[in-house]
Amino acid sequence: MVTIKKIAREAGVSLATVSRVLTNSRPVRPELHERVMNVAHELGYVPNTAARALVKRRTDSIGVVVNNLHDPFFHDLIRGFEAGAAQTDYNVVFCSAMSRARQLKQRYVRYLSNGVVDGIILYASYDSDEAVVRELHASEFPFVLIESSVEGVKTNNLLIDNEGGTYNAVRYLHRFGHQRIAYIAGPVDKHICVERLGGYLKAMKNLCLPIDKEQVCYIQNGYSDGYGIMERLLSLPQAQRPTAVLCYDDAVASYAIRFAMEKGYRVPEEISVMGFDNQTILPDGYRGPSITSVSQPLYDIGFDSMILLTQILRGEKEGTVINRYQTHIAEKETVTYLKKDE
C-alpha cells in the first residue's frame, strides 16, 4: 500500500507538505503541489477515505434507503438519484430494505447516520416507517423524505399527488364511456395506497357512479394477485361485471391483463385496464399491450432529492422544503371507448 511517507520520500518534501496537498487543508506553493500530485499519481496512491472523513468531519457521501432496490418500480427513481449525484461532488451509498422490514430499515439508517454519510434520502411509504422517520428527525441528522409525511414532524418532503392521480384516472375512464369501473387497491398499511383508493372513491362519488363492494378489491400477497382478482371480476354476472379496471400500480395491471388475455378477452376492446406509475420495466416478462397509466415523475423526484439534500448540506437551503409533484395520464394501448351495447 502506498503511504504518504513514501510519497514524501519520492517527492523530497516533508510529511506535512504531502498531507496539506492531499487534504487541501492549507495552501502549498504551486510547484510543490504539482510535484506531490505527480508522485502520488505515479505511485498509484489511493486516499484513505475513512481517515480523511475523521479529519474533515464529513464523508462527502449521501445515503439512499429504499424498499426493494430490485423492484422494477424503482428503476426511474434510481436513474434520477444517479443523475442528480452526477451533478454534485457527493458519492452515493444505496441500501435496500424489504418493504415492511422496519427493523432492517432502521438498522440501515442508524448505520449510515453514524458517520458513514453526511445526509440520507429515505423512501418511506409504509406506515411502519413512521418510527424510523421520527428517530431520524429527533437525531437532527440531515435527510430528505420521499413519499411520506409524519404528523407533527417537520421534514423535507417530496410527495406525489396520489389522490389526484386516481381521481383523474376515473374521470379519464368515464370520458371513454365507462361507468362500471372496478378498482384493485394496494396494501392498506401503505399510505400512498390509501391516498390512491381515496381518489378513486372521491371521483366515483362526484361522478355519481355506483361503487360496488365486489368491484373494490385489495392486494394481499403481491402484485401477482392482480391475476386472481381479475379472474373474480370477470366472473361476475354480466350486469355487474366492470367494463374497466383501474389498478393501484402498473405491475398489478400487468397481471390483470395477463389473465384477461389468457382467457380470450380482448384488451381494451372488451375490458379496459389502467395502471399507476407509468413504469419503464414491468415484472416477469410482461408482453401485453403497453399500459395506459397515471404517470408520476419518478426520475425528477430522484434527481431533485439529490440536489435538494446537497443544497441543505452546503447550507444553501434554509427552512423546511415540501414539494408536491402532479401526475398526468400516459395514454397508451389498454383503454378504449365502451361499446354502446355494454
pLDDT higher than 50, residue 296: yes
Residues 235 and 123 in one domain: no
Establish if 249 belongs to a structural domain. Answer: yes
Establish if 65 belongs to a structural domain. Answer: yes
Residues 272 and 287 in one domain: yes
pLDDT tens digit sequence for 185-195: 999 888 899 99
Residues 173 and 254 in one domain: yes
Angle of CA points 43, 45, 49, to nearest 5°: 175
**Long-range pairs for 191-198: beta carbons < 8 A, 24 or more residues apart:** 191/125, 191/126, 191/127, 191/148, 192/125, 192/147, 192/160, 192/162, 193/248, 195/162, 195/163, 196/162, 196/163, 196/165, 196/166, 196/248, 196/276, 197/166, 197/248, 198/163, 198/166
- N- to C-terminal Cα separation, the chain: 76
Q: What is the CATH number of the domain that holds 25?
A: 1.10.260.40
Q: Are 330 and 293 in contact (CB under 8 A)?
A: yes
Residues 28 and 96 in one domain: no
C-alpha cell of residue 276: 399507476
pLDDT tens digit sequence for 215-267: 999 999 999 999 999 999 999 999 999 999 999 999 999 999 999 999 999 99
Q: What is the pLDDT of residue 1?
A: 65
Tell me what the pLDDT averaged over the chain comes to: 90
Establish if 55 belongs to a structural domain. Answer: no
Establish if 331 belongs to a structural domain. Answer: no
Greater pLDDT, 117 or 97: 117
The β-bridge partners of 182 are 245
Q: What is the CATH number of the domain that holds 89?
A: 3.40.50.2300
> Which stretch of DSSP H or E encloses residue 53?
helix 49-56
Mean pLDDT, range 269-287, rounded to an integer: 94
Q: How confident is the model at residue 57 (pLDDT cuts 50, 70, 90)?
A: low
Q: What is the pLDDT of residue 53?
A: 47
- Cell 401477482 appears where? 224
Mean pLDDT, range 172-181, rounded to an integer: 98
**With left for phi above 0 and alpha for psi between -120 and 50, is residue 274 left, alpha or beta?**
beta
Residues 67 and 193 in one domain: no
What total number of domains does the chain contain? 3
Mean pLDDT, range 28-42, rounded to an integer: 87
Establish if 113 belongs to a structural domain. Answer: yes
Residues 42 and 69 in one domain: no
Residues 237 and 215 in one domain: yes
> Which stretch of DSSP H or E encloses residue 142?
none
C-alpha cell of residue 214: 365486489
Establish if 27 belongs to a structural domain. Answer: yes
Establish if 342 belongs to a structural domain. Answer: no
Cα–Cα distance, 133 to 277 (Å, whole number): 24
Residues 153 and 197 in one domain: no
Greater pLDDT, 89 or 196: 196
Strands 293-295 and 328-330, by their bridges, are antiparallel
Domain range holding 117? 61-160+297-326
Cα–Cα distance, 301 to 318 (Å, whole number): 20
pLDDT over 90 for what percent of the chain? 65
Residues 184 and 307 in one domain: no
pLDDT higher than 60, residue 54: no
Establish if 290 belongs to a structural domain. Answer: yes
Mean pLDDT, range 292-319, rounded to an integer: 95
Q: What is the pLDDT of residue 285?
A: 87
Number of Cβ within a 10 Å radius of residue 251: 27
Q: How confident is the model at residue 50 (pLDDT cuts 50, 70, 90)?
A: very low
Q: What is the pLDDT of residue 4?
A: 79
